[in-house]
């Protein structure tokens, strides 16, 4: 068909492009004149394609068609007029001219809302359904017969922008093209619009958008969001017009608190809170407004209403002055009609538009990578001076710090003052648990409480998941460039490094980890992990796939690697920070948001980590930390329908329960790192010194609280007695004591229940006939100290040969000289398969044994050698899925296949 496209905007451009792809001939484009020297996007696209473009300032004069304009239109010979988005009045002589007439796109389910502000009134009236109509034009402009309609649900906090971006734009383009397809096929209906149910409201102008406070909270919310962002709902506050943006309905089961703000006409004063401005309807229910704009154009977060309008000016250093001059040049290149950029120059009053905001943000990124500037920041600092001050504060890392309120517990310990948050971290804030529930976390060195920690409840889990979902679907994180995401993770790693001594000290007093080990491994490897995965953020790629072509058509098929969404992570108590890092770093690098439950007995480094994510500039809701009970918090995360992935490290028993819950709830993706009984085979041709040293490490590293600890050593008979003797000698040299003492080798076990379990485990071994060579008892001193233990003469049927101790207990069994296959059979006779090891100087034997061992990791002539680039995970009932390395990203990504026919 020969089509004339009459309209404007990117929407019009998309319709134009899709109609051309459908094979229609666009005979002409009629659009608006250039504005400030810039052509409309529809005009730009058409001119690039060589299509005739007409830019009439108007089509009618005094209600009649302009003859010259009408004559030019008739020359193009259109068979159909398509008006995808048209702000001009088109005369009926043009509407009726083509043989197929004219069709128009309208952002409303006609006849419900007619007029230019239909989408606004959909929200203002609180309609549960929105949508669009493609109709046949008549002299009533929006009263002609209906050709096609599509509808969508209206979400509680939708604005004009969100509905437009989610549905009206993408589906509207498709619907308009579908309407043309129906006309071409002779199947287009003409459904007469009824008058019943039709509404005509005033065009939304600023003078019409004043808030009437004598309404319910829901009606107020609908009025504000229906006017957001244009023209903006306003009211008089403190003698000036204040415009309200970003309204959400509040759960009225919670009590609002904040500093009162008198609003004339309101049923009661508003409350300026940490989250924004709480407003009350005449029904006593509440809504929350996030941003306010004053008459001079300045926009602020509503939470900052009572702060000084102008914070103290920052004195610029020479480097910052140079940056300011660079930005002055950028502003001049954007604001071409301004002779000189001075401190008071206002970006928007000088003619800048939304695309100019995008350009300004990108220009800043080119000149200062450290400045994490968002579009909203430009609206908050509209004058040149405010803009530079804001950028400089971000350069110095000062921006946002004062917004984070932390109730610290301080302790003078380890020759430093450590500052420990102790609350839940939800949506970028430290908050108390529902019902103010708390529990005491215990220092295993002396058995005394460290502090009270908030104990998360089911309602807290739901709040955290909702925050993570919003951050992923609607927030800045989901829209962030992967390279910018990586930059944030790098910044987090840098902050962790700056706080490494504090983190290691907290780890030592909360988990019993020896401080030097905590500094090197618990914290050091955590920092390495975040740096490693930060580098992967912009390297996650799909592939193109050569599929079988169906001639004469051709196809392009490719895959996209996309983040999953809200991920729950449940971690154990043996490496509180490192286990957090191993899972969270890959999860964030892939673009997901996180709700993490640390072990109830070791929550403190996790909540300190939460503080550092906020300091690093992570958007609210991306990281949420919930100390609490596994039976409650872990269970709710497993069951939650909005959690799309759960990563768990812990016991096999709990892992099986989690896997079942995840399947029943919503078939969420699961990765599990579970129990182990890792075999270590030591052949008589080994390097004995190394075998003893690494054998000790394989069992006693981190007090034996190590998921890959060698749960059973198989020592070849010719060296068995010598090996045992050497090990016992080394055990007796180990210094047991305060983990903060730099000379300590072996600290306390993590918690009392675990200590009791180890005592019982060793008593069982003795009863079954194993020979207790040394250790096996609780040390008589304050705290949860347990003697490093060695058992020999352990047979395959014994409990201690089959079950994991998860403590400093070495289980030694003999095997006959030269019987490689027999010892392999014994080593593999377990349902666990996390790790394993072999010591031998014979490379052929090493390769053969490493091939036959049924474990996710095999160490040869070493042990505990993990690296952030090497995948880690188990076989059999030790779980599935990988932490670390490139493979870990697969656990937090989904693959989408896309096929395009052309």
Q: Are strands 875-876 and 544-545 parallel, antiparallel or unpaired?
A: unpaired
pLDDT in tens, 766-779: 999 999 999 999 99
H or E, element range at 406: none
Residue, of 230 and 604, whose pLDDT is higher: 604
Q: Which two tokens stand for residue 181?
A: 């397809």
10 with 41: CB under 8 angstroms? yes
Residue matched to tokens 């953020």: 537
Q: Is 522 a catalytic residue?
A: no
Active-site residue, from 391, 662, 686, 707: 707
Cβ neighbors of 11 (< 8 A, separation 6 or more) are 84, 85, 105, 169, 172, 173
CB-facing half-sphere around the CA of 382: CA atoms within 13 A: 18
Mean pLDDT (whole number) for 368-383: 75
List b or e across 293-324, with b for residues whose CB sees 16 or more CB atoms inside 10 angstroms.
beeeebbbbbbbbeeeeeeeebeeeeebeebb
What is the per-residue pLDDT across 175-214, written as a single tens digit (0 to 9) for each?
Answer: 999 999 999 999 999 999 988 878 777 777 888 899 999 9
Q: Map 618-656 to HEC letters.
A: CCCCCEEECCCCHHHHHHHHHHCCCCCEEEEECCHHHHH
Most confident of 50-64, 102-116, 228-242, 717-731: 717-731
**Packing angle of the helix pair 170-184, 9-21 (nearest 10 deg):** 40
Q: How many CB atoms lie within 10 A of CB 2?
A: 16
Predicted structure pTM score? 0.64
* DSSP state, residue 9: H
pLDDT class of 401 with cuts at 50, 70, 90: very low
Integer Cα distance of 890 and 536 in angstroms: 12
Q: What is the pLDDT averaged over residues 219-240?
A: 90
Q: How far is CA 208 from the centre of its chain?
A: 39
C-alpha dihedral sign at 159, 160, 165, 167: positive
- Cα→Cα distances 561→51, 534, 537, 715, 889, Å: 38, 17, 12, 46, 10
Per-residue pLDDT band for 402 (boundaries 50, 70, 90) equals very low
Query: Sign of the C-alpha dihedral, residues 587, 590, 591, 592?
Result: negative
**pLDDT at position 508 over 60:** yes
pLDDT given at position 274? 77
> Catalytic site residue 673?
yes
* CB neighbour list of residue 310: distance below 8 Å, 6 or more residues apart: none
Interval 840-863: pLDDT, tens: 999 999 999 999 999 999 999 999
- Phi, psi angle pair for 762, to nearest 5°: -70, -35
Q: Say whether pLDDT at 311 is over 60.
A: no
pLDDT class for 827, splitting at 50, 70, 90? very high
Question: How far apart (Å, rounded) are the C-alpha atoms in residues 7 and 147?
Answer: 19
DSSP 539: G
Residue 309 binned pLDDT confidence (cut-offs 50, 70, 90): very low
pLDDT tens digit string along 664-684? 999 999 999 999 999 999 999
From residue 655, give the alpha-carbon distance in Å to each of 227, 635, 648, 674, 878: 49, 11, 7, 7, 9
pLDDT of residue 512: 97
HEC profile for 760-815?
A: HHHHHHHHCCCEEEECCCECCCCCCCECCEEEECCCCCCHHHHCCCCCCEEEEEEE
Average predicted confidence (pLDDT) for the chain:
92
**Taking the mean position of all CA atoms in its chain, how far away is CA 430?**
18
Give me the mean pLDDT over the 604-614 stretch.
Answer: 97
Judge whether 224 and 247 are in contact, CB under 8 Å: yes
**Cis ω before 229 (30° cut-off from 0):** yes
**What percent of the chain clears pLDDT 70, i.e. is strictly above it?**
97
In DSSP notation, 82-116 reads: EESS--SPPPHHHHT-STT-EEEEESS-TTSEEST
Q: Is the pLDDT of residue 84 over 80?
A: yes
Q: What are phi and psi of 244, to 5 degrees?
A: -105, 135
Indicate which residue of 24, 106, 522, 640 is catalytic. 106
C-alpha distances (whole Å) from 347 to each of 311, 365, 381 are 20, 18, 9
- Determine phi and psi for 784, rounding to 5 degrees: -110, 60
Q: What is the predicted pLDDT for the residue at 313?
A: 61
Catalytic residue among 673, 705, 804, 891: 673
Range with the poorest average pLDDT among 85-99, 249-263, 598-612 = 249-263
Which residues, in sequence order, are bridge partners of residue 278?
Answer: 271, 288
Has residue 519 got a pLDDT over 90?
yes
**Beta 113-114 vs 199-200: how paired, if at all?**
parallel
Q: Are 174 and 17 in contact (CB under 8 A)?
A: no
Residue 310 pLDDT > 50: no
- Taking alpha carbons only, the member of 702, 678, 705, 680 closest to residue 690 is 680
Q: Which residues contact 516 (CB under 8 A, 6 or more apart)?
A: 742
Q: What CA–CA distance (Å, rounded) separates 514 from 204?
A: 66
Ramachandran angles phi, psi of 348, nearest 5°: -85, -35
pLDDT interval class at 370 (50, 70, 90): low
- pLDDT band at residue 231, thresholds of 50, 70 and 90? confident
Model confidence over 24-38: pLDDT tens digits? 999 999 999 988 677
Question: Average pLDDT of 366-375?
Answer: 74
| E strand or H helix at 140 | none
pLDDT band at 355 (very low <50, low <70, confident <90, very high): confident
Residue whose pair of structure tokens reads 């609003």 in the numeric block: 263
Question: Exposed/middle/buried for 269, CB within 10 Å: 0-12, 13-18, 19+?
Answer: middle
* Cα gap 106→134, rounded to integer Å: 6
**In 10 A of CB 401, how many CB atoms?**
12
pLDDT tens readout for residues 532-567: 999 999 999 999 999 988 777 889 999 999 999 999
- In the prediction, which pLDDT does 540 show? 96
């Amino acid at each position: 068909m020969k089509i004339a496209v009459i309209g404007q905007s990117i929407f019009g451009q998309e319709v134009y492009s899709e109609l051309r792809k459908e094979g229609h001939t666009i005979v002409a484009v009629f659009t608006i004149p250039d504005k400030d020297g810039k052509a409309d996007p529809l005009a730009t696209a058409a001119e690039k394609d060589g299509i005739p473009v007409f830019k009439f300032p108007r089509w009618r004069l005094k209600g009649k068609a302009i003859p010259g304009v009408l004559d030019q239109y008739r020359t193009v010979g259109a068979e159909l007029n398509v008006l995808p988005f048209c702000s001009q009045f088109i005369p009926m002589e043009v509407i009726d001219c083509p043989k197929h007439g004219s069709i128009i796109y309208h952002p409303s389910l006609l006849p419900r809302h007619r007029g230019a502000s239909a989408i606004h009134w959909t929200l203002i009236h609180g309609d549960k359904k929105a949508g669009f109509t493609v109709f046949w034009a008549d002299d009533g402009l929006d009263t002609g017969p209906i050709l096609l309609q599509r509808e969508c649900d209206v979400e509680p906090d939708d604005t004009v922008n969100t509905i437009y971006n989610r549905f009206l734009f993408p589906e509207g383009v498709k619907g308009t093209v579908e309407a043309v397809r129906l006309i071409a096929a002779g199947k287009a209906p003409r459904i007469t619009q009824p008058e019943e149910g039709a509404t005509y409201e005033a065009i939304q102008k600023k003078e019409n958008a004043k808030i009437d406070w004598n309404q319910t909270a829901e009606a107020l919310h609908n009025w504000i969001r229906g006017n957001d962002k244009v023209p903006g709902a306003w009211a008089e506050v403190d003698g000036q017009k204040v415009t309200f943006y970003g309204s959400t309905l509040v759960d009225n089961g919670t009590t609002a608190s904040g500093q009162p703000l008198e609003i004339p006409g309101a049923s009661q004063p508003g409350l300026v809170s940490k989250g924004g401005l709480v407003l009350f309807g005449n029904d006593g229910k509440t809504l929350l407004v996030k941003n306010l704009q004053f008459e001079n154009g300045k926009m602020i977060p509503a939470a900052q209403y009572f702060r000084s309008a102008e914070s103290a000016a920052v004195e610029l250093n020479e480097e910052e002055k140079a940056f300011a001059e660079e930005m002055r040049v950028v502003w001049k290149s954007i604001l071409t009609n301004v002779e000189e950029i001075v401190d008071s120059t206002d970006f928007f009053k000088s003619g800048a538009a939304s695309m100019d905001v995008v350009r300004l943000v990108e220009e800043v990124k080119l000149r200062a990578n450290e400045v994490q500037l968002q579009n909203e920041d430009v609206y908050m600092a509209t004058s040149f001076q405010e803009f530079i001050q804001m950028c400089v504060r971000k350069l110095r890392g000062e921006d946002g710090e004062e917004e984070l309120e932390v109730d610290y517990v301080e302790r003078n310990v380890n020759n430093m003052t450590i500052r420990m948050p102790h609350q839940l971290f939800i949506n970028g804030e430290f908050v108390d648990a529902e019902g103010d529930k708390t529990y005491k976390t215990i220092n295993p060195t002396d058995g005394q409480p460290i502090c009270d920690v908030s104990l998360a409840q089911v309602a807290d889990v739901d709040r955290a998941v909702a925050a993570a979902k919003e951050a992923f679907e609607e927030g800045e994180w989901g829209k962030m460039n992967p390279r910018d995401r990586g930059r944030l993770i790098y910044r987090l790693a840098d902050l962790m490094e700056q706080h490494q001594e504090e983190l290691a000290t907290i780890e030592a007093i909360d988990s019993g980890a020896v401080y030097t080990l905590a500094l090197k491994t618990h914290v050091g490897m955590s920092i390495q992990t975040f740096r490693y995965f930060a580098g992967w953020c912009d390297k996650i790629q799909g592939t193109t796939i050569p599929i079988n072509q169906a001639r004469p058509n051709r196809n392009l098929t490719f895959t996209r690697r996309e983040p999953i969404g809200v991920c729950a992570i449940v971690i154990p108590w043996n490496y509180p920070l490192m286990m957090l890092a191993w899972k969270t770093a890959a999860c964030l690098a892939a673009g997901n948001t996180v709700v993490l439950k640390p072990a109830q007995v070791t929550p403190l480094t996790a909540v300190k980590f939460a503080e550092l994510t906020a300091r690093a500039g992570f958007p609210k809701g991306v990281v949420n930390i919930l100390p609490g009970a596994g039976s409650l918090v872990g269970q709710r995360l497993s069951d939650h329908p909005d959690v799309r992935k759960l990563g768990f490290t812990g016991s096999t028993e709990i892992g099986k329960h989690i896997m079942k819950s995840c399947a029943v709830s919503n078939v969420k993706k699961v990765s599990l790192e579970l129990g182990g009984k890792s075999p270590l085979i030591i052949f008589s041709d080994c390097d004995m010194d190394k075998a003893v040293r690494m054998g000790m490490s394989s069992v006693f590293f981190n007090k034996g609280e190590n998921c890959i600890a060698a749960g059973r050593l198989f020592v070849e008979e010719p060296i068995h007695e010598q090996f045992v003797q050497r090990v016992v000698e080394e055990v007796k040299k180990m210094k047991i004591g305060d983990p903060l003492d730099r000379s300590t080798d072996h600290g306390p076990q993590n918690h009392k229940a675990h200590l009791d379990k180890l005592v019982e485990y060793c008593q069982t071994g003795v009863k079954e006939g194993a020979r207790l060579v040394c250790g096996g008892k609780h040390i008589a001193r304050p705290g949860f100290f347990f003697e490093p233990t060695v058992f020999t003469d352990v047979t395959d049927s014994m409990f201690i040969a089959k079950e994991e101790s998860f403590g400093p207990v070495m289980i030694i069994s003999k095997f006959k000289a030269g019987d490689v296959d027999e010892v392999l059979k014994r080593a593999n006779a377990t349902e666990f398969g996390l790790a394993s090891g072999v010591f031998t100087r014979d490379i052929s034997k090493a390769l053969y044994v490493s091939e036959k061992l049924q474990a996710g990791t095999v160490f040869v002539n070493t042990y505990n050698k993990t690296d952030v680039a090497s995948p880690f995970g188990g076989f059999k009932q030790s779980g599935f899925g990988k932490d670390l390395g490139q493979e870990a990203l697969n656990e937090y990504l989904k693959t989408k296949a896309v096929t395009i026919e052309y």
